[in-house]
Structure 1
Amino acid sequence: MRKQIRYINGGLWLVLMVPLALLSWKELSWPADSGRAWLDGRNARQIESLYDEKFVMKDWATNAWAAFDYQLFNEGRPGVVVGKQGWLFSKEEFVWSPREAAHLQAALDEIALVARQFSAANIQLLPVLLPAKSEIYSEQLLQVNPQLQARLYEQALHGLAERGVAVADLRPLLWRAAKQQEVFLKSDTHWTPFGASQVAQWTAQQLGHEGDGQRFSTEQGEAKPYRGDLLNYIPVAPYFADWGPEADLLVTPLTLDNGGGDDLLAEAPTISRLLVGTSYSANEAWNFAGAIKQATGADWVNYAEQGKGPFQPMRTWLADNPLAKTEIRQVVWEIPVRYLVQPLPTAG
């Protein structure tokens, strides 16, 4: 069946591209020594230049191809898994093999090592292991997920427990919350501000620092269309935008610090809480860092980074901050479970 789909895809591509290529052929001017031009690459470069600069139908053809692929076969470019009702999932959540199993053990070992370092320095570490979007919304899947079959999240919880690291199962929390509002974006790999706020409130409870809602407050922004990162794998816009999945409607909250006192000359209090993680924490659109501030009633240093995964920011912070001298007493480490089956960052 997959081979038949590839043949159909190839046929549709020819149907689209051959007429468009013929229409553009007249734009080419062949050199007098045309035979030699084919050998030394001049003609090839001319064709490539035509496609890039003069083939005005290129974007239309790309959009049309993506629309056909999505509508007829529920597929996008490599990197996305198409689900039901416009739900999109990262391909990273569907990869499982002996290689990923080995990556998992290495990642769990590193988490346990970091936990021992913080424990030796009498610093409280709370790992926040985020479930995969495809597990929270498994009812929206159109295909089997090998990571769910392998029970990746359970393996991670069990493996950390064996290494002496207690980590809570956040799936029940997010399953319950998903009955109220969406906790992940349909078109993006990340969570919604609502999902982030639910985990932030749980985090505050675990740390025993629930805020009174006075120092920090959160304002809701205006709802705006948000084209998630997974839509990049289904490039139907602008010509066939109605044929592809819809963008999300995102309300970005903004958490404000109302201040802890009126004395402007007073020395700023030392921040003793640290947030480390990925774009789930670093991207202000989800407001996880702000939600933690409001939920705990305390300020936090946000050391999360986008595009670096959960391990590199933690390594960098530990390298730059000797634990014997740091003022930090509590650390929240946000770790999406899909990163546990990816290779650890190389040293240096």
Structure 2
Amino acid sequence: MTRPLRKLYVALFLSVLLLLFGWSMRGVLSYDAPKQFTVLDGGLAKTFESHYDEHFPVKTLGTSLWAGLDYLLFNEGRPGVQIGEQGWLYSDEEFKPEADGPLHIRENLALIKGVRDELAQHDVLLLLAIVPSKARLYPEFVGDNQTSVLRQDLYQRFLNEVRTADIAAPELLSSLQAGKANGAMFLRTDTHWTPEGADLVAQQLSSTLKRSITLAGEPQVFITQASPVKAYKGDLTRFLPLEPLFSHLLPPPDQLRRNKTQAAEQAAGTDALFSDSEMPVALVGTSYSANPAWNFAGALRQHLQRDLSNHAEDGQGPMVPMLKYLQSDELKNAPPQLVIWEFPERYLPMANDLSAFDAQWLSALKQSDGNRHLVASDQH
């Protein structure tokens, strides 16, 4: 190598180091020390290290490069996502086999029946809203991804089992399939349904209830207002850390129109009337119900013409929020007439972390019989 060429290489190498050093300084300059910190035990150093590690450019570039290679060469993302066709992303929970899946199905079905019995002791009816998986509703974009044997007909078997146990559960899949002709029922880059899909399910639940029971209280008028459509990057894109090198490979963002539902009195500024209204319905479930972006609770209010209390939680699955509700003061002191339990089908074969609950109480809940049929042939 000639001396000029060697000097050029050295100069380029130093330039890259200088560039990375300058870029790394952004992480230093953007650091804000906490108002209360300790120096002697390393508390300040730990907060700085955590902040700098999060904003370290070499790490970001390396992550992006590796993710880009996985995406380009193998059409794969990080664990958590399955990449479909035409920009569709799916949660890998809808495809992968679950260790001890049949056992978890038996235990979860037993708990569901125990929930039914526990609510019945308070003279509360249970309506189970089984949300079909995104892959079941949109199999045309799944591509080469294969669903495990245990999950292939899980929705219908789940539905049949709870109906056999005298738990009301409307068939939501066919309604959502028909609704696809009028708009997207699930977001393309997200785990969840669209506000339109949530509204359609709320309509069907309301129709089911109106044919069988009369809700307490006077009907209320609820008004839904829609916001302008905005680009929305779904939660599944976080498993594709392609930025900044391969940002152009990311699926285009979804277009989301958020809805907001209010009682007519509340919309008119007369909150006192609204606050005195009865709540004959309680909603329990997952982020499908908890996240206001989908407005599922609001759609239920509008179609039921009744207010409701929402006990759904993000990131906890369907079982934990329900068990919390069973132990709540609200159920003990002011039980509703009806509980709507939103339960995505994909959670049925999954284990639950129930360590926060009393083991004897859980064992008593699981004493219900009749959960053998669903898993009799599942020994995979």
TM-score, normalised to structure 2, is 0.73
Alignment of 1:92-131 (within 5 A): 92-97=93-98, 99-131=100-132
CA distance in 1, matches of 2:295, 2:195: 6
For residue 152 of structure 1, what is the aligned residue in structure 2?
A: 154
Alignment of 1:57-76 (within 5 A): 57-76=58-77
**3-state SS of the aligned residue for 1:64?**
helix
For residue 226 of structure 1, what is the aligned residue in structure 2?
A: 232
Structure 1, 92-101 or 51-60: larger mean CA deviation:
51-60
Cα drift, residue 116 of structure 1: 1.9
Segments of structure 2 that go 5 or more residues without pairing to the other structure are 1-11, 22-48, 357-380
Task: Give the share of equivalent positions with the same residue, in percent.
Answer: 37
CA distance in 1, matches of 2:158, 2:272: 47
For residue 236 of structure 1, what is the aligned residue in structure 2?
A: 242
Cα distance per residue 1:241-274 (max 9 Å; x no partner):
1112122111111112212897958981231210
2:119 and 2:326 in contact (8 A); partners too: no
Alignment partner of 2:202 out of 200, 203, 209: 200
For residue 134 of structure 1, what is the aligned residue in structure 2?
A: 135
- Assess, with a 3 A threshold, how the Cα gap between structure 1 residues 249 and 207 changes in structure 2: closer, same or farther: same
CA distance in 2, matches of 1:101, 1:113: 18
Cα distance per residue 1:203-232 (max 9 Å; x no partner):
11111179x997211111121111111101
CA distance in 1, matches of 2:54, 2:323: 45
Segments of structure 1 that go 5 or more residues without pairing to the other structure are 1-18, 29-47
Cα drift, residue 158 of structure 1: 2.6
TM-score, normalised to structure 1, is 0.79
Matched, 1:181 2:189: no
2:265 and 2:274 in contact (8 A); partners too: no
Alignment of 1:313-324 (within 5 A): 313-321=321-329
Give, as a single letter, the amino acid of the residue that structure 2 aligns with 1:226.
Answer: Y
2:98 and 2:349 in contact (8 A); partners too: no
Cα distance per residue 1:281-311 (max 9 Å; x no partner):
0000000011111111111101111111111
CA distance in 2, matches of 1:52, 1:325: 49
Give, as a single letter, the amino acid of the residue that structure 2 aligns with 1:329.
Answer: Q
Matched, 1:87 2:84: no
Cα drift, residue 56 of structure 1: 3.9
Matched, 1:253 2:240: no
- Assess, with a 3 A threshold, how the Cα gap between structure 1 residues 270 and 240 changes in structure 2: closer, same or farther: same
Give, as a single letter, the amino acid of the residue that structure 1 aligns with 2:147.
Answer: N
Cα distance per residue 1:145-198 (max 9 Å; x no partner):
115764111221232234332422211011111121111111111111010000
2:172 and 2:204 in contact (8 A); partners too: no
**3-state SS of the aligned residue for 2:128?**
strand
For residue 279 of structure 2, what is the aligned residue in structure 1?
A: 271
Cα drift, residue 326 of structure 1: 2.4
2:283 and 2:311 in contact (8 A); partners too: yes
For residue 348 of structure 2, what is the aligned residue in structure 1?
A: 340
Alignment of 1:7-86 (within 5 A): 52=53, 56-86=57-87
Alignment partner of 2:309 out of 301, 313, 321: 301
- Assess, with a 3 A threshold, how the Cα gap between structure 1 residues 166 and 53 changes in structure 2: closer, same or farther: closer
Question: After TM superposition, which residue ranges in structure 1, 4 or more long, deviate above 6 angstroms?
Answer: 260-263
1:274 and 1:332 in contact (8 A); partners too: yes
Structure 1, 182-191 or 92-101: larger mean CA deviation:
92-101
1:93 and 1:147 in contact (8 A); partners too: no
Give, as a single letter, the amino acid of the residue that structure 2 aligns with 1:163.
Answer: A
Give, as a single letter, the amino acid of the residue that structure 2 aligns with 1:221.
Answer: S
CA distance in 1, matches of 2:337, 2:80: 39
Cα drift, residue 130 of structure 1: 0.4
For residue 28 of structure 2, what is the aligned residue in structure 1?
A: none
2:219 and 2:306 in contact (8 A); partners too: no
**3-state SS of the aligned residue for 1:96?**
coil
RMSD: 3.4
Give, as a single letter, the amino acid of the residue that structure 2 aligns with 1:290.
Answer: G
CA distance in 2, matches of 1:305, 1:238: 32
Cα drift, residue 74 of structure 1: 1.6
Structure 1, 285-294 or 163-172: larger mean CA deviation:
163-172
Give, as a single letter, the amino acid of the residue that structure 1 aligns with 2:277.
Answer: P
- Assess, with a 3 A threshold, how the Cα gap between structure 1 residues 213 and 251 changes in structure 2: closer, same or farther: farther
* Matched length: 309
1:123 and 1:331 in contact (8 A); partners too: yes
- Assess, with a 3 A threshold, how the Cα gap between structure 1 residues 234 and 321 changes in structure 2: closer, same or farther: same
Cα drift, residue 128 of structure 1: 0.2
CA distance in 1, matches of 2:320, 2:191: 20
**3-state SS of the aligned residue for 2:348?**
helix
